[in-house]
Amino acid sequence: MLERLRDPFGFGRPGFERHAKDFGDLPRLDGLRVLITGASGGLGQATRSACDALGATTFDASRSSGWDLTDPARVGALAEELGEVDVLVHNAGVLPTAYQETAEGLELALALNLVATHRLTRALPAKKVIWVSSGGGLTQSLEVEPMFSPPKPYDGVVQYARTKRAEIVLAKLWARERPNSCFSAMHPGWADTPGVSSSLPTFHKLTKGVLRTPEQGADTIVWLCGAQVETGKFWFDRSQADALPLPGVRSAAADEAALWARLESLL
Ligand SMILES: NC(=O)c1ccc[n+]([C@@H]2O[C@H](COP(=O)([O-])OP(=O)(O)OC[C@H]3O[C@@H](n4cnc5c(N)ncnc54)[C@H](OP(=O)(O)O)[C@@H]3O)[C@@H](O)[C@H]2O)c1
């Protein structure tokens, strides 16, 4: 009862432990080449370690390993170097605490969380593509123009959530574009990572006792790397989840088409 009060959405560790009672073994990944963006820390690093242990050959794309994904030239070079992979995990993400712009003139969260993932999906053939979205994305309707031109004063939490909503939509749109590959978006819950403690220090302080470990947050990412699932869906704790659970939150077809057109225009 107390746990339900401390973790009302099941996004924390108590929720994971409850849901994990129904989990089987993770699928083996022998022979698979898996690229995980942002695998130098946090959830990406935990995902990479788990994939390695399950037999995959893994690659990291982060600034620490020389790949700033907000630079379109580095995205192209990365795709050229790897040629193709079996699984592409779009994990690198940022929640900026203040407005920042890339050299290309895009707001930082938009550039890394969304535009870079679209470019890399286009440039690097993969049988499976996974977007690590966020529960925050569920709070926002898909709104393309405010995401590309964030209103002032800048609110990094809202901007981040808009990009995370758009990631869920993008998995669906890519599933239509490439019916022979599998595209998924997922929500890792709330995990204790460097990103959470630096971008959301108050949230981190208040929830620290119930946050998931990075390994628990990474579990569904790793599961999706090996599981046979329906393309274009949204996942949480190894189950398909409702991407529009809140009243009044929408993802209109016209906005989805506008999102695709904006991203394609940036290729
Ligand atoms: N932790 C949570 O509770 C939580 C909840 C919901 C969703 N998520 C999502 O899960 C993903 C991982 O989150 P996290 O908490 O593990 O974040 P994190 O601790 O901040 O790690 C982010 C990773 O992204 C890399 N990165 C940052 N900027 C980059 C760039 N320009 N190019 C390439 N890589 C870059 C970082 O490595 P370098 O610094 O070396 O570049 C790092 O490896 C994010 O997409 C986040 O939105 C996390």
Question: What are the tens digits of pLDDT across the range 172-201?
Answer: 999 999 999 999 999 999 999 999 999 999
Q: Which atom of ligand 1 approaches the CA of 65 most closely? A: 40
Length of the chain: 267
What sign does the dihedral 47-50-52-55 (CA atoms) show? negative
Quick one: which of 112, 212, 204, 119 has its CA closest to 160? 112
Report cis status (omega within 30 of 0) of the bond before 150: no
pLDDT, one tens digit per residue, over 35-77 is 999 999 999 999 999 999 999 999 999 999 999 999 999 999 9
Strand bridging mode 33-37 / 85-90 = parallel
What sign does the dihedral 137-142-144-145 (CA atoms) show? negative
List the residue whose alpha carbon is closest to atom 44 of ligand 1: 93
Q: Give the residue carrying structure tokens 């895009």.
A: 106
List the residue whose alpha carbon is closest to atom 6 of ligand 1: 134
State the pLDDT at residue 8: 86
What residues are in contact with ligand 1 under a 6 Å CB criterion? 37-38, 40-44, 61-64, 67-70, 91-94, 112, 132, 134, 188, 190-191, 193-196, 217
> DSSP 3-state assignment of 36?
strand
End-to-end CA distance of the chain: 50
What is the pTM assigned to this prediction? 0.98
**Distance, CA 1 to ligand 1 centroid (Å)?**
32
Q: Which atom of ligand 1 approaches the CA of 189 most closely? A: 5
**Distance, CA 196 to ligand 1 centroid (Å)?**
9
State the pLDDT at residue 106: 98
All structural domains of the chain, each given as residue ranges with its CATH number in brackets, are 2-265 (3.40.50.720)
**Residues assigned a catalytic role:** 160
- How far are the Cα atoms of 38, 39, 49, 79 from residue 59, in angstroms, in the given order? 10, 8, 11, 12
Q: Which atom of ligand 1 approaches the CA of 46 most closely? A: 16
**Distance, CA 112 to ligand 1 centroid (Å)?**
10
State the pLDDT at residue 1: 59
State the pLDDT at residue 7: 86
Q: Which residues of the chain have pLDDT under 50?
A: none
Query: Do 53 and 101 touch, CB atoms closer than 8 A?
Result: no
**Distance, CA 38 to ligand 1 centroid (Å)?**
6
- From 58, 60, 91, the mutation candidate for ligand 1 (largest count of ligand atoms within 8 A of CB) is 91
Taking the C-alpha atoms of residue 189 and residue 217, their distance in angstroms, rounded to an integer, is 6
List the residue whose alpha carbon is closest to atom 25 of ligand 1: 38
The DSSP result for 190-255, as a single string, is -B--HHHHHH-HHHHHHHGGGPBPHHHHHHHHHHHHHS---TTEEEETTEE--S--STT----HHH
Q: Which atom of ligand 1 approaches the CA of 39 most closely? A: 43
